Amino acid sequence: MELIGTALVVDHDEDRLRSLAALVETLGYATEVYTDANAAREYLHHRPDLDVILCEMDMEGLSWDFASRTLKEMDVQIPVILISDEAQADRMMRALRVGASDFFVRPIADVDALKRSMDRCMRQRQVRRELEQSRHSLEAANTELRGTIKMLEQDQQAGRQVQMRMLPATPLILDDYVFSHTVIPSLYLSGDFTDYFTVGDHFVTFFMADVSGHGSSSAFATVLLKNLFARKRSDLLRRSDDTILSPSALLKRANRELMDLEVGKFATMVVGVLDMQTNTLRYSVAGHLPQPVLVSGEGARYLRGEGSAVGIMEDAHYEEHLIDLPDSFMLALFSDGILEILPPKNLIEKEKYFLEVFEQAAASPEEMVTRLGLDRVGTAPDDIAALFVSKRG
């Protein structure tokens, strides 16, 4: 007969033990037999691959209350069938209270009932095994996942350090002009980026970029943009290519390169070229919110501009504006993450509130950072980048 499973048979009476073991074997089960309760308990410590335990209810040297606690402490999930010479209700209730799966009275007349009970115990045991295997598999998967997450976090932290080193020096002081920035990422890596650098003797080109999404892929797009601006700066010296002095031309190049990248990333941007000799600003806006804010003795106002985000349409058009700057001013560019932490609920009210903050307190970039609460933000709901250009009168 093909073996169905394995049963542990325990009885201090050797004759009854042999008789019950023989019966169990005829039902298709291999048997392990013990006449000593302590020896049987020691056997269970090895966690054998048992399917069911058949044990005498009045086993010598065995307290079932103690046995029940022991099995729980050992985390033994093997079903137990108790057998007794007496069919008393209180004994059956006690058997069930200590965790027995079934109760039979000797002599066992209904052998089919015993087989059904043992088969049910075996199926129960199999389900518990499968659950245990699933638990171990989940624990192994969780351990592997934690290791992967830790590795990703280390990669993100390393990438974060690289990205921070890509940012320009802050503050950068050029005569009466001061450039400064701050970046608060929602994750380790940021999709927001800013840069500024001198071009020739009296120009400074700067930009604010807010790449869609978060994390590594968005950060890689910021690397591409920084590389683009660096190449164009070099092209002015090597090829007399003045793209670096044209915000709209720079946006067109950024649009083309993000489209060619084919990673589904786009970016809103503001690009500006400051002429320190004439104190003028040439700028273009590519779908960026909030728009740049210019603060002077006359108050605070948005620098308006139209244009779609770069990386969306091949034939995108970008306006270029030229304005005279006040003798003393502060120009502030923010990524849209700043809108997430402003108190008002809708965009129109947020933009109004944002402008009011500048009108009420705009003595310095540091004061604006404090007033907007950026110095108290640990991890932002969205990346936040800020660029300040100011001139002292």
- Determine, yes or no, domain membership for 186: yes
Same domain, 93 and 182: no
126 and 200 in a single domain? The answer is no
CATH number of domain containing 92: 3.40.50.2300
Domain annotation covers residue 152: no
Same domain, 95 and 192: no
Last residue of a domain, one of 94, 116, 136: 136
Q: Are residues 320 and 237 in the same domain?
A: yes
**Whether residues 329 and 376 fall in one domain:** yes
Within this chain, do residues 348 and 241 fall inside the same structural domain, yes or no?
Answer: yes
**Structural domain boundaries enclosing 306:** 167-391
User: Considering 136, 152, 185, which residue would you say is the last residue of a domain?
Assistant: 136
pLDDT of residue 31: 92
Same structural domain, 230 and 123: no
- Specify whether 173 is located in the same domain as 28: no
Q: For the chain, what is the domain count? A: 2
Task: Assess if residue 158 is contained within a domain.
Answer: no
d(CA 67, CA 73): 10
- For residue 235, tell me if it sits in a domain: yes
pLDDT value of position 383 = 77
**Is residue 256 situated within a structural domain?**
yes
pLDDT for the residue numbered 154 = 80
What's the whole-model pTM score? Answer: 0.66
Residue 100 lies in a domain: yes
Neighbours of 65 (CB within 10 A): 10
20 domain residue, yes or no:
yes
Distance CA 207, CA 379 (A): 24
pLDDT digit of tens for each residue in the chain (393 aa)? 678 889 999 999 999 999 999 999 999 999 999 998 888 878 877 766 788 989 888 877 776 665 666 656 555 678 888 888 887 787 777 777 777 888 898 899 899 999 999 999 888 888 888 888 899 899 999 989 988 888 877 877 777 777 778 889 889 999 999 999 988 776 667 788 999 999 999 999 999 999 987 777 888 888 999 999 999 999 998 989 999 999 999 999 999 999 998 878 999 999 999 999 999 999 999 999 999 999 998 889 999 998 999 999 988 999 999 999 999 999 999 998 888 888 888 888 988 888 888 887 666 777 777 777 776 666 556 778 899 999 986
Question: Residues 281, 323: one domain?
Answer: yes
- Residues contacting residue 382 through CB under 8 Å, at least 6 positions apart: 186, 214, 335, 336, 337, 340
Give the C-alpha distances (Å, rounded to integers) separating 334 from 144, 156, 235, 258: 39, 24, 28, 21
- Asked whether residue 33 is assigned to any structural domain, the reply reads yes
> Which CATH number fits the domain that encloses residue 377?
3.60.40.10
